[in-house]
Amino acid sequence: MTFNKYHQQDISSSKFLITGGAGFIGSNLVAYLVQYQAAKIVVLDNLSTGYLENIAEFIERGEVQFIEGDIRDYKTCTEAMQGIDFVLHEAALGSVPRSINDPITTNDVNISGFLNVLQAAKEAGVKRMVYAASSSTYGDSPTLPKQEAVIGNPLSPYAVTKYVNELYADVYSRTYQFHSIGLRYFNVFGPKQNVNGPYAAVIPLFITQILNGETPVINGDGLTSRDFTFVSNVVQANIKALLTDNIVKHEVFNVACNEQTSLTELVSAITENLGSSLEPVYKPERKGDVKHSLADISKASNQLHYQPEILFKDGLKETITYFQELIGAS
């Protein structure tokens, strides 16, 4: 996938570290920086949820330096950070259900690991760190659209960890004058998203189920809604946040499209694209899931000049094409 240019600065002498760079979002960020010829790109990933094949071509061509390591080890973080100008922190254990099943590991990776990266970046004199926050932080707040300053009570261990990231980042900004930016992602989807395992995201899961002739399963009544966000929009937000001159303290921003799609509408859109007559089956709602999600993106638009370029329907078509090619469907 190629990207439009989201920066104006010369990055040919800048050095970047992407934690979780072998994962879905991280590898797309790597691809952007390779495309626009960053001076140095380092990826730190333990490959627990990422895949080396996502960045293998870049490693083979010498465009990316890969470090297999875990952010839970502070020494690894400090070594990876040496000489780095900018950090994109994507490494985390995602999935609300996973966090409910294993809150200890989720906490270790998402809180202790985050703090290691934050401290190492501060100590290394990194110019800017942008990290993956989450829309799960809004918790049980019924307010729509979601605005950054209005959050509720978290509904899962995962949501707790992502909110704690924001609290730590804010403390580092006020205490150490290390000003990072958190991006609250809203249900990101697109090429390179993992469909394997019990915690696969809903869009690649539904697409592959329907491509394989399997009945898609919706948890709940199908009215649960999300602000599905194509991955190139997330890349745009990260690059603009990383290189902005407008931010002089810790900030968090919604990254989404300000579009609301229910799960039933999602399945219908996929079956229509594929010419399938499969109908979903409905099962009980999952614990910890937010019922409705829709982002107010005005803060990111005003301060970062973020503007989503690919909206849900077009992003879904591109994602369907990717998975058709991946599994050899036609």
> What is the C-alpha to C-alpha distance for residues 303 and 249, in angstroms, rounded to an integer?
12
| Nearest of 72, 140, 155 to residue 106 by alpha carbon | 72
Q: How far apart are alpha carbons 257 and 50 in whole angstroms?
A: 25
Q: Is the pTM of this model over 0.85?
A: yes
The Cα 106–Cα 266 span in angstroms is: 28
Q: Which residues of the chain have pLDDT under 70?
A: 197-199, 329-330
**Alpha carbons 195 and 205: distance in angstroms, whole number:** 6
- Any catalytic annotation for residue 158? yes
Please report the pLDDT score of residue 87 as a whole number: 98
Active-site position among 6, 131, 138, 158? 158
Give the model's pLDDT for residue 290: 81
The token duo for 101 is: 């099943």
For residue 23, report the phi and psi dihedrals to the nearest 5 degrees: -85, -170
Residue 141 in tokens: 């707040």
Which domains are assigned to the chain?
15-188+230-257+294-309 (3.40.50.720)
Q: What is the pLDDT of residue 35?
A: 98
Cis preceding-peptide flag for 145 (omega within 30 of 0): yes
Contact 307, 254 (CB under 8 A): no
**d(Cα 295, Cα 141) in Å, to the nearest integer?**
13
Q: Can you give the pLDDT at residue 329?
A: 46
